[in-house]
């Protein structure tokens, strides 16, 4: 049979990977490190000769490794977890990423590297490896400790921010410039994409999977899951995003399915197979000569990663109200980079905007920091003691005062409830706005693909988009009214407007939503410029819409309510299982 | 990122496969059929246009489908099951394969096809699909019936014979001729290969897996299993056998591991993924135009498969002592072809000895017979009633008499025990002979790869091979002595040789083993001709060997006993788990 080369390659990869894995397990080192070294051993740059003949096919399979790694990450991620990790994780992850991208960029520039190389370097240094850190904590039996939960929180937020970074980097690499409007537009589109994908996905996918799972055929469930996963990756790819992003989002959607356990069981061996190939393929690209050549940058960047992450994460966790000991533990637990760095490096390489040396440097720094991870975690307390002794008393006092001040800021009782309500309303308004935006963007996209657009067509298309959006617009208005009433209640104290207080409150609670709707209207007009009909037709469309609104107002509220309930059911069903 | 084409292909395959699978499950048809049709839909031969861009990579992945299908088949197969299915399955499977190859060949010739096409056609028609039949019986909830167990037995024997056929067909296709010595040599080498692989595999692999499984890391176990699987496939490939054969054998070896359940669990999703791609890839190759062009051969061959298999299997099962009703049920349950036919067709295509039309015909016949399978199984009893009424009374009487005569032939009591003992000794001698043969063949292979072989080298090499073989030769001698004593006891009745009976018996029990050893010696000399040293050196080597034998006789017996015990432990350990 043909394809002997391919079988040979796979045989060599799996054999060496198996051997090194067993060895690394004996040495109590992460398996991932074993894969990288297995790749180095059989790679083309190490004597006696290359054992891999068909590198292109291996790289294709390695790409599937990215898909399955990100998909699994998505499966482990859940929207509910995201809401629970709270402010500390958000602050720490943001501080870490901003600081590390900046330091990485500056270090790169200091080495005399090109702007794009430096930017990608910063991005590569900013994200820690969920896989490796979770495994390290697991092996050290620390998974249940408080600081470990904080670490997981930071990792989850990091994953989300990394997704945004992937999209941003693609945009910057393609346009070649970093402009604030560009960044805004990219992030805005990304937010719309993620929101629409999550809402539509959560409404459809878990129900579809439940239907398929009725058959009790694991094969059918697997094929369906893979079909949806690859289908969505393809969709993301067509919209200009990476497959990694697509796989992560659809994984997060499936995480809310009631059959999550079965799906994880089915995907696990496939992910392990392809991720082994992925990591070995990365090792294949390692050229020891390049590593020696860049020994100094690698050493320096390793120090940058460890010190930078300990400081930035630790500070972030401390600022958001944790004691110094916990902060240090979290910081030292996160001082590491991994698979995301490889994915970012691969992105740069495939877009042809980065130099060849970036990939091996990322791999080398990752390998060294991965080796250090268990020791850093174990050494956190000792380091804390040493630092505590070295610290001047004044500094320690300032830190203590800060903690007290922060604690006094916390909202309590009624205020906390109120803040929660406002937050929820704002979230709902934002989600609905994004859905409306997505509908009009979709309409505009359709319009652009119909050549010689007549005004009548435009009017019909725009009208259809408006009709589809109406339930969401109605919902936005109703939420805004509720918000305005709440704000009026708080903001306009009883004694302020005297006897007119109720009237003033009512006025405010009507004015705010109307003003907001006008703003949304302008936003829609801007998004749908390509299909915006001329004024006379626009008035007609709006008149029809208004008429429909008057007649079908109740139906629209009902439709929206039903969708919202279905969504909440999906999110809650899962927690019961 | 690059590789967008590949992701697109996979997305299309998995999406369509998922959809069609759900549909076929609703229609209560086998999933495999759905895959074939999914392939046809997205294939290049059906309008509007091909949805697959990178067919080469898909075909590479499809080849992995063969590996994992055969590996799974091996995992489900077990040596113990093979010994249990007994004579009926062996007779039926042999009758089926011989008859179907012959009929297929004749039909092909009658169509005016080339010799090689006709031969491969015969082979394709001869093997039923384990996957599809097992699934059909499962869905009809008949898995526990007596005739279903007979069907499984036939399927297992078929798998083994199919493996032999794959090797034979490769040989015939390569040399272009069917010569009886060729066939003998091919089958002999195959027997040696399988025996050595099984013995060495059973001694090493389950122990290795048990060691790896201690770590309780599913990922490590998976990577090790895949490493061993692909490594052995590569080894089989290098020896000139197919990866399908390699995957099946190493699967059968791992079936004796105590971690079989975990391994099956890990491999199942991977197999389902790649076998889906495999079956879809087969559908991709289907050209409706070719199917229409060959409509008549397809129709005829479908009838040939159904009638031929019902008759040959039914007859085989009946001859070996089952009632007509059971025989008919087994025959009708096996009237089907499947994945093995595709593998054989793929073999012919990759060796470039068969015509292009053979593959689509095999697929079409398989699809139709797969569709018929559930109805044939369900309709067996009715058919039996109809046939019973149509049959002349004389025929029925003859059938009844045959059954009684067969029952009278069965060995009972002491005789059965004796026959069992003799069978076991012969099996042990055969296995040991094959191991010895493998050692000398290995030595000869080594010798051929050393250019300018000096006589001294030859003597050392041959001597080393002899030394390695000595424990097995000693074992062969001891088993033969035991066999000869047993035979002498039975053959030379007490009254035959009068008072000399004990002496005669002793003489016979020494002569037979010595004669057999001389024969084995000639066999070894023939196998190792390439490294056989000249006489003077040969005598020296033999003398040294004899000396070693005298000194280390006990040690060699002990070594062999330990190996044998280890092997039996592996086989028995598993049954406890």
Statement to judge: residues B497 and B557 lie in one domain: yes
* A100-109, A382-391, A396-405, range with the lowest pLDDT: A396-405
A266: pLDDT strictly greater than 90: yes
Residue B406 lies in a domain: no
**Predicted local distance difference test score (pLDDT) of residue A2:** 45
Q: Is residue B279 part of a domain?
A: yes
Q: Given CB atoms, is B361 within the 8 Å cutoff of chain A?
A: no
Do A68 and A92 fall within a single domain?
A: yes
Chain B: nearest CA to A274, how far in angstroms?
Answer: 10
A385–B contact, CB cutoff 8 A? no
On whether both A141 and A126 belong to a single domain, the answer is: yes
Cβ-Cβ contacts under 8 Å for B512 (sequence gap 6 or more)? B480, B483, B484, B487
Q: How many domains does chain A have?
A: 3
SS3 A349: helix
Establish if B38 touches chain A: CB-CB under 8 angstroms: no
pLDDT at position B412: 66
Spatial distance between the Cα atoms of A423 and A429, rounded to a whole number of angstroms: 10
Q: What pLDDT, on the 0 to 100 scale, is given for residue A154?
A: 86
Pairs of residues, one from chain A and one from chain B, whose beta carbons lie less than 8 Å apart: 177
Tell me if A404 is assigned to some domain.
no
Extract the residue ranges of chain B whose pLDDT is less than 70. 1-4, 46-51, 81-82, 84-85, 176-179, 407, 409-413, 451-453, 492-498, 573-577
**B17 occurs within a structural domain:** no
Over range A373-394, report the average pLDDT.
Answer: 81
Cβ within 8 Å of B, A 190-249: 212, 215, 217-220, 222-224, 226-231, 233-234, 237, 242-244
Evaluate whether ipTM surpasses 0.85.
Answer: no
Q: What does the alpha-carbon distance between residue A394 and residue A401 come to, in Å, rounded to a whole number? A: 11
Q: How close, in Å, is residue A358 to chain B by CA atoms?
A: 17
Neighbours of A57 (CB within 10 A): 20
CATH number at residue B342: 1.20.1530.20
Best B17, B19, B28, B60 residue to mutate vs chain A (most A CBs within 10 Å): B60
Does B466 reside within a domain?
yes
- Same structural domain, A119 and A158: yes
B313 and B458 belong to one structural domain = no
Its domain, for residue A145, covers 61-380
From CA A507, how far away is CA B470, in angstroms rounded? 105
For chain A, give the mean pLDDT.
Answer: 83
pLDDT of residue B495: 60
Same domain, yes or no, for B180 and B289? Answer: yes
- In contact, A64 and A404? CB cutoff 8 Å: no
CB contact residues (below 8 A), chain A span 324-353, against chain B: 346-347, 350
Q: Which of A42, A60, A78 is the last residue of a domain?
A: A60
Report the pLDDT value the prediction gives residue A403, as an integer from 0 to 100.
72
Q: Report the percent of chain A where pLDDT is more than 70.
A: 93
Inside any domain, residue A148: yes
The yes-or-no verdict on residue A267 having pLDDT over 90 is yes
Domain co-membership, A90 together with A183: yes
Q: What is the mean pLDDT of residues A269-275?
A: 91
- Please state the pTM of the whole predicted model: 0.81
Structural domain ending residue among the three candidates A339, A359, A380: A380
Nearest to B121 by CA among B319, B295, B353: B353
Same domain, B464 and B323: no
List, for residues B307-342, the tens digit of each pLDDT value: 999 998 888 888 877 888 888 888 999 998 987 888
Task: Identify the pLDDT of residue B577.
Answer: 45
Pick from A356-370, A547-561, B120-134, B390-404: least confident = B390-404
Best A8, A9, A11 member to test B by mutation, with max B CBs in 10 Å, is A11
A56 and A67 together in one domain: no
Span A216-234, average pLDDT? 89
Q: What digits encode the pLDDT tens for the residues A23-47?
A: 888 887 777 788 888 888 888 776 6
Same domain membership, residue B419 and residue B371: no
- The DSSP annotation for B150-185 comes to HHHHHHHHHHHHHHHHHHHHHHHHHH----HHHHHH
A143 vs A458 pLDDT, higher one: A458
**What digits encode the pLDDT tens for the residues A289-332?**
888 888 998 999 999 999 999 998 888 888 887 888 888 889 99
Do residue B350 and residue B448 come from a single domain? no
Q: Is pLDDT at A459 greater than 80 in this prediction?
A: yes
Query: Which of A11, A60, A266 minimises the CB distance to B3?
Result: A60
Q: Is A170 on the interface with B (CB under 8 A)?
A: no
Residues B259 and B285: their CA atoms lie apart, in Å, by 38
pLDDT of residue B89: 83
Helices (H), B27-145: 31-42, 55-76, 79-110, 115-126, 130-139
- Among B323, B358, B380, the domain boundary falls at B380
pLDDT reported for residue B307: 92
Considering the domain architecture, whether residues B216 and B85 belong to the same structural domain is answered as yes
Q: Do B269 and A63 touch (CB under 8 A)?
A: no
Has residue A255 been placed in a domain? yes
Encoded tokens for A541: 């469309």
Residues B199-238 as b or e (16 or more Cβ within 10 Å = b)? bebbeebbeebeebbebebbbbbbbbbbbbbbbbbbbbbe
Assigned domain for A294 exists: yes
Nearest residue in B to A245, CA atom: B1
Distance between CA atoms of residues A527 and A547, nearest Å: 24
Asked if residue A575 has pLDDT above 60, the reply is no
Q: Closest Cα of chain A to B266: distance in Å?
A: 6
Give the pLDDT confidence score for residue A1 in this predicted structure.
38
């Amino acid at each position: 049979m043909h394809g002997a080369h391919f079988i040979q390659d796979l045989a060599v990869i799996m054999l060496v990977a198996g051997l090194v894995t067993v060895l690394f397990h004996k040495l109590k080192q992460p398996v991932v490190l074993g894969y990288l070294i297995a790749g180095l051993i059989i790679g083309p740059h190490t004597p006696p000769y290359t054992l891999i003949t068909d590198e292109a096919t291996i790289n294709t399979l390695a790409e599937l490794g990215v898909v399955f790694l990100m998909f699994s990450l998505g499966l482990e991620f859940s929207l509910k977890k995201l809401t629970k990790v709270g402010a500390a994780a958000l602050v720490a992850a943001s501080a870490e990423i901003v600081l590390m991208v900046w330091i990485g960029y500056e270090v790169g520039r200091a080495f005399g590297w090109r702007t794009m190389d430096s930017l990608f370097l910063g991005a590569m240094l900013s994200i820690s490896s969920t896989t490796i850190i979770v495994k390290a904590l697991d092996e050290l039996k620390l998974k249940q400790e408080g600081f470990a939960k904080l670490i997981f929180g930071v990792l989850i937020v990091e994953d989300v921010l990394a997704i945004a970074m992937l999209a941003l980097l693609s945009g910057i690499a393609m346009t070649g410039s970093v402009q604030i409007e560009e960044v805004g537009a990219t992030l805005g589109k990304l937010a719309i994409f993620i929101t629409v994908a999550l809402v539509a996905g959560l409404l459809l996918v878990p129900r579809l999977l439940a239907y398929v799972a009725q058959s009790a055929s694991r094969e059918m469930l697997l094929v369906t899951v893979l079909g949806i996963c690859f289908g969505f990756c393809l969709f993301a790819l067509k919209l200009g995003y990476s497959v990694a992003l697509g796989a992560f989002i659809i994984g997060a959607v499936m995480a809310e399915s009631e059959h999550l356990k079965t799906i994880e069981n089915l995907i696990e061996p496939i992910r392990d197979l392809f991720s082994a190939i992925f990591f070995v393929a990365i090792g294949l690209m390692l050229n020891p000569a390049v590593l020696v050549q860049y020994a100094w940058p690698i050493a320096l960047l390793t120090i940058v990663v460890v010190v930078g992450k300990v400081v930035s994460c630790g500070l972030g966790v401390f600022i958001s109200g944790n004691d110094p000991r916990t902060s240090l533990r979290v910081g030292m637990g996160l001082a590491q980079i991994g698979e995301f760095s490889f994915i970012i490096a691969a992105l740069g390489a495939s877009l042809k905007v980065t130099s060849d040396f970036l990939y091996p440097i990322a791999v080398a720094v990752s390998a060294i920091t991965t080796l250090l991870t268990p020791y850093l975690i174990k050494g956190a307390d000792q380091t804390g003691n040493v630092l505590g002794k070295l610290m001047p008393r004044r500094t320690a006092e300032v830190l203590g005062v800060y903690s007290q001040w922060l604690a006094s800021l916390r909202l309590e009782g009624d205020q906390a409830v109120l803040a929660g309500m406002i937050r929820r309303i704002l979230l709902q308004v934002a989600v609905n706005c994004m859905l409306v935006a997505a509908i009009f963007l979709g309409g505009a996209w359709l319009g652009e693909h119909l050549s010689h657009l007549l005004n009548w067509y435009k009017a019909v298309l725009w009208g259809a988009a408006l009709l589809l959006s109406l339930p969401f617009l109605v919902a936005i208005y109703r939420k805004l009214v509720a918000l305005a009433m709440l704000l009026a209640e708080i903001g306009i104290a009883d004694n302020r407007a005297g006897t007119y207080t109720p009237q003033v409150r009512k006025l405010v609670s009507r004015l705010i939503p109307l003003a907001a709707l006008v703003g949304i209207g302008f936003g829609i007009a801007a998004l749908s410029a390509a299909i915006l009909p001329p004024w006379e037709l626009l008035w007609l469309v709006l008149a029809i819409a208004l008429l429909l609104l008057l007649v079908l107002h109740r139906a629209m509220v009902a439709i929206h309510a039903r969708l919202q309930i279905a969504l909440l059911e999906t999110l809650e069903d899962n927690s019961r299982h």
